[in-house]
Amino acid sequence: MVTNERKLYLQKRRKTKILVATTQILILIAFLGIWEWMANKEIIDSFITSQPSRIWQTLTNLGANDLIKHIQVTAYETIVGFLLGTTLGIVVAIILWWSNFLAKVADPYLVVLNSLPKVALGPIIIIWVGSGTQAIIVMAIAISLIVTILENLNGFLRTDENLIKMAKTFKATKLQILTKIILPANISTFISSLKVNIGLSLVGVISGEFLVSKAGLGYLIVYGGQVFKLDLVMTSVLILGILAGIMYGVVVLIEKFILNSKKFK
Amino acid sequence: MEKILEVKNINKTYQTPKGEIKAIENINFSIQNGEFVSIIGPSGCGKSTLLSIISGLEEKTSGEIFIQGKKVEGISSEIGYMLQKDCLLEWRTIWSNVMLGLELKGIKTQESKDYVENLLKKYHLYEFKDKYPQELSGGMRQRVALIRTLAIKPKILLLDEAFSALDYQTRIMVTNDIYEILRKENITALIVTHDISEAISMSDRVIVLTKRPGTIKNIYKIEFEEEEKNPITCRESPKFSEYFNTLWKELGVDGNK
């Protein structure tokens, strides 16, 4: 039996949901509409601001600017940087958890490296690993690595002491405590660093592409800016936004998968 | 009756950057097989430290511990330990949780599996074996934690404020449950608690510690006339309040100093 109040409550909830969604869409349409209209009426200079219809043209005319190739390059660099940065970060976090001594030694270095803007390392990275894809990947790693280490180490160290004590009463070895208590207890930390890192890797890749590259969305943005092709710049930014959204979505899917499969034993 | 646990001249001093802290001093006592003994004392008197030392989790500064006449160093497999919280691993099923001890010790055999399965059946948890801890009530979780400990077949069980995280009613029920299980399995129990009534209702003897550095102030024998004593029925006995008052005073004098 559904009571009247319940019905009303559900109706109200649905109404709010629909209202929020329509407002969101309306804002977008209004924004694009006004932009397009002002550009057509020459109230704003579409040479500087571009306009939705021209962005759409650039977008549909993928071949002309090799857009697909550029998207692939950026996606590849981001994914490789993301995977390497996250894996390395977690491995280092495990090592530092294992050795209290190393953690203490590393602490001030980590703090300084964490607050250092990694983009400043750009020129050094280029000189060391050469310009090109590898420099951009290293940049992506540099940006996500330290945060991953700090966040995961922090999670490991904050694991409920009682769980560790309990394991010790059963004579657990350090490796057993790591694999059976620390790691499974920190799945949520792990997932949150995945979410943060996908964004950070993109930042690393784009700023890397700004500095050196012959391909990628970052390159396209810089190039478009230099030759005043604002259509290209805007389109690239739009694609970048979509790319970031898709990658985040994939991480959310991975999260769901992990959370479901954790009930396997 | 044979002595199952003997504690001789245990001392513990903590080293801190600010100096030395004497936690416990010259503790001597022994426990007979099958006996239930409680340790009470003002907070910070080192009663939990003493338990940790007996379990082997913590180093002692000096002294000796004997189990069934054999001197032990480190964590003994004759000892089971229950902490304040049930410490069930939320990501494991009940079955996988109760098997944890055997898994960590690397002694998961068909025989031990059968034994654990029997324990679960005996204490009405078998039908929940594929559930997760968050689906169980506080009292059931505590029973699961107990079975996890019993799975390694300890002779002595140490309980460190094991029920203090539970609400009052659940706590009385769980205390009773665990008491009956331990008596049935013929396990010796050493209980640390700050709750005087819990100490009286569960034990045959109560050891009272002084405040830090903890030393043994007195040992009381708890005896009820009732043949079939259990932690709930003994609370109704007039002797219960007598014991309560005695122990209350014993702790109170120290507290008021």
Q: How far does the CA of residue A256 sit from the closest CA of chain B (Å)?
A: 15
pLDDT, position A263: 55
Closest Cβ–Cβ partner in A163, A167, A262 for B104: A167
As a whole-number percent, the residues of chain B with pLDDT over 90 amount to 15
Chain-centroid distance of CA B188 in Å reads 9
pLDDT, position A174: 93
Q: What is the pLDDT of residues A55-70, one digit of tens each?
A: 888 888 877 768 888 8
**Domains of chain B by start residue, with CATH:** 3-78+156-256 (3.40.50.300), 86-153 (no CATH)
> Cβ of B165 under 8 Å from any chain A Cβ?
no
- With CA atoms as reference, report the closest residue to B27 among B15, B36, B39: B39
Whole-angstrom Cα Rg for chain A = 24
pLDDT, position B257: 42
Count other C-beta atoms under 10 Å from residue A256's C-beta. Answer: 11
Q: How far does the CA of residue A255 sit from the closest CA of chain B (Å)?
A: 15
List the single residue in B with minimal CA-CA distance to A165: B57
> Cβ of B83 under 8 Å from any chain A Cβ?
yes
**Residues in chain A within 8 Å Cβ distance of B105:** 170-171
Interchain pair B104, A162: CB under 8 A: no
Q: What is the pLDDT of residues A245-265, one digit of tens each?
A: 999 999 999 888 887 776 543
Q: What is the pLDDT of residues B52-85, one digit of tens each?
A: 899 888 888 888 888 888 888 888 888 999 888 8
pLDDT, position A262: 60
The CA angle B106-B107-B113, to the nearest 5 degrees, is: 125
- Both tokens assigned to B254: 């120290």
Q: How far does the CA of residue B133 sit from the closest CA of chain A (Å)?
A: 12
Q: Name A94's bridge partners.
A: none
Name which of B84, B89, B132 to mutate to probe chain A: the one with the most chain A Cβ atoms within 10 A of its Cβ: B89
**Residues in chain B within 8 Å Cβ distance of A171:** 75, 77, 104-105
pTM, entire model: 0.83
**Residues in chain A within 8 Å Cβ distance of B93:** 263, 265
Q: What is the pLDDT of residues B106-130, one digit of tens each?
A: 888 898 899 999 889 888 889 998 9
| Least reliable range by pLDDT among A149-153, B88-92, B195-199 | B195-199
Please report the number of interchain residue pairs, chain A to chain B, with beta-carbon separation below 8 angstroms. Answer: 52
pLDDT at B173 over 90: no
**Residues in chain A within 8 Å Cβ distance of B75:** 168-169, 171
> Cβ of B21 under 8 Å from any chain A Cβ?
no
Q: What is the pLDDT of residues A115-140, one digit of tens each?
A: 998 888 888 888 898 888 889 999 99
| Helix intervals (H) in chain A | 4-40, 46-49, 52-60, 67-98, 100-115, 122-129, 133-157, 161-169, 174-176, 183-185, 187-211, 217-226, 230-261
Is the CB of residue B130 less than 8 Å from the CB of residue B95?
yes
Residue B148: what residue type? R
> Cβ of B108 under 8 Å from any chain A Cβ?
no
Q: How far does the CA of residue A171 sit from the closest CA of chain B (Å)?
A: 7
Is the CB of residue A204 less than 8 Å from the CB of residue A118?
yes
List the single residue in A with minimal CA-CA distance to B129: A265
**ipTM associated with this complex:** 0.85
Is the CB of residue B154 less than 8 Å from the CB of residue B105?
no
**Residues in chain A within 8 Å Cβ distance of B87:** 160, 162-163, 165-166
Is the CB of residue B178 less than 8 Å from the CB of residue B209?
no
